[in-house]
Amino acid sequence: MIDPIFQYASAFLLALVTGSAAASKAGQRDILEGVIANYRVLPSILVRPTAYVLPIVECAICLALLFPMSRHVAAAAALVLIGIFTIAIGVNLIRGRTWVDCGCFSSTLRQPISWGVVARNAFFMIAATLPLVSSNERAVALGDIAAAAVIAMALFVLSLAFSLIAPGRPDRDRKKSHAFETVLRAR
């Protein structure tokens, strides 16, 4: 059994992750199609429908995480979705395709996939398991919810900072950056 504040913090963190991912993808459907196609794990016929449905699914997960009655299902869905993304990233890393755009939050980050992204996703997957675990039955006060929200925001900002300073950023190496830009233009 865990304290409910950890479940709230986890749910809020996942809501931030899925909500920001949905928002950045919703306005860039053409770019999203290119990102999905570039992973080369889906048949081409499924790329466009996936690009259409993915932001909707992420938005639905985000909203469902905010309500205790739907939190379990939403956390399980987030766990599965992040797991699928992590597998796709891992497959491409094993193939040696390290300059695939992650497409995680926004194309402005232009973050190539890396084992660091896999580690970050593993952290999010662990967070997704917390709402699925039994919690003690103590009353949750408004201060607990506020503390959980602050914790979630801090973890989200730290995950974004990790993405910006992680090795493998294309702007750290001009040659690699040029190769990455070529991949982006090919979409």
pLDDT tens digit sequence for 156-175: 999 888 777 765 544 444 44
Phi and psi at residue 101, to the nearest 5°: -70, 125
Mean pLDDT estimate for the chain:
85
Q: What is the pLDDT of residue 182?
A: 47
- Whose CA is closest to 23, among 113, 121, 106, 124? 106
Q: What is the pLDDT of residue 171?
A: 45
Dihedral angle sign, alpha carbons of residues 162, 108, 94, 120: positive
pLDDT digits (tens, 9 = 90+) for 95-148: 999 888 888 765 554 678 889 899 999 999 999 999 999 877 888 889 999 999
On the CB side of 159, how many CA atoms lie within 13 Å of its CA?
22
Q: 114, 93 in Cβ contact below 8 A?
A: yes
- As a whole number of angstroms, the distance between CA 112 and CA 102 comes to 5
Phi and psi at residue 140, to the nearest 5°: -100, 120
pLDDT digits (tens, 9 = 90+) for 52-69: 999 999 999 999 999 989
Question: Residue 108 in 3-state DSSP?
Answer: coil
Q: 113, 100 in Cβ contact below 8 A?
A: yes
Question: pTM for the whole thing?
Answer: 0.83
Alpha-carbon torsion angle 31, 34, 39, 45, nearest 10? 130
Residues in the chain, overall count = 187
Distance of CA 29 to the CA centre of its chain: 17
Q: 33, 10 in Cβ contact below 8 A?
A: no
- As a whole number of angstroms, the distance between CA 3 and CA 77 comes to 22
- As a whole number of angstroms, the distance between CA 111 and CA 167 comes to 10
